[in-house]
Amino acid sequence: MGSAFFVFMGTNKVISFEISNDTLKRRAKAVTLLPLTHFFIMSQLHVIDHPMIQHKLTIMRKKSTGSKDFRELLKEISLLMGYEVTRDIPLEDIEIETPICRMTAKEVSGRKLAIVPILRAGMGMVEGLQTLVPVAKVGHIGLYRNEETHKPVVYYCKLPEDIQDRLVIVTDPMLATGGSACDALSMLKERGCTNIRLMCLVSVPEGIAKVQAEHPDVDIYVAAVDDHLNENAYIVPGLGDAGDRIFGTK
């Protein structure tokens, strides 16, 4: 099987990764369907492929890995990915006193953060991010995929009152068709959110293309871009059903 290098360009970064010829054809088809405007505003795709993240993800993918280890690894990876997702949040100078002298030091300024997991599986990424940003507020969006249509169904939404004033990090380990992520992002925008980032663990080009087409203002952070979706819209090779593996429901 041959391969090609795919490049996503943003305002200050170029992200590239290797994908197969088949995937490239599907991706090219998706791109030709996009309106021209999407080529002017294009969200950035950040593939966070730090060796420690890749190592932990490999353990998560193994079907022999049980729920306890799966949950712990997801939490650890979320904390590590959180460094990149929050890399450019603004700082401001403050005056402090150390035991030795006064100094001008940095603290995170202005805009506050909210973490919004897509239930259920997105919950597995919250604790890692909270370790990094303990003051972040947490909202919840409940969505499940209809097993036949693979379309998302909304069953819950509870968000911080001032969500529109916050930088929102939406979490979900799996970006498959992209339907759940797109609906969650639309729900946040209906409530006035203008600064949103999407953080997933495993993705496929189909899901990335859908989010970039419908939400070109939302940057996407992933640890892996897998090959394709199977006939049940599961990610291949993927890691199976993330919700079931986190909560031990199957």
d(CA 214, CA 28): 17
Binding of ligand URA by 225 (CB under 6 A) = no
Residue from 169, 176, 185, 193 binding ligand PRP (CB under 6 A): 176
d(CA 154, CA 158): 12
Cross-strand bridge partners of residue 114:
137, 168
Query: Per the residue annotation, which of 145, 166, 197, 245 is the catalytic one?
Result: 145
Residue identified by tokens 């599961």 is 234
166 part of the active site: no
CB 139 within 8 A of CB 158: yes
Query: Which two structure tokens, joined as six digits, stand for 153?
Result: 């169904």
Residue from 241, 246, 248, 249 binding ligand URA (CB under 6 A): 241
- Report H helices in 44-109: 51-61, 67-85
Cross-strand bridge partners of residue 202:
174, 224
Residue nearest to ligand PRP according to CB distances in the complex: 243
Residue from 117, 124, 139, 178 binding ligand PRP (CB under 6 A): 178
The least CB distance from residue 113 to ligand URA, in Å, is 26
Binding of ligand URA by 176 (CB under 6 A) = yes
Interface ranges with ligand PRP (CB under 6 A): 118-121, 143-145, 150, 152, 172-181, 207, 233, 241-243
Enumerate the active-site residues: 145, 149, 241, 244
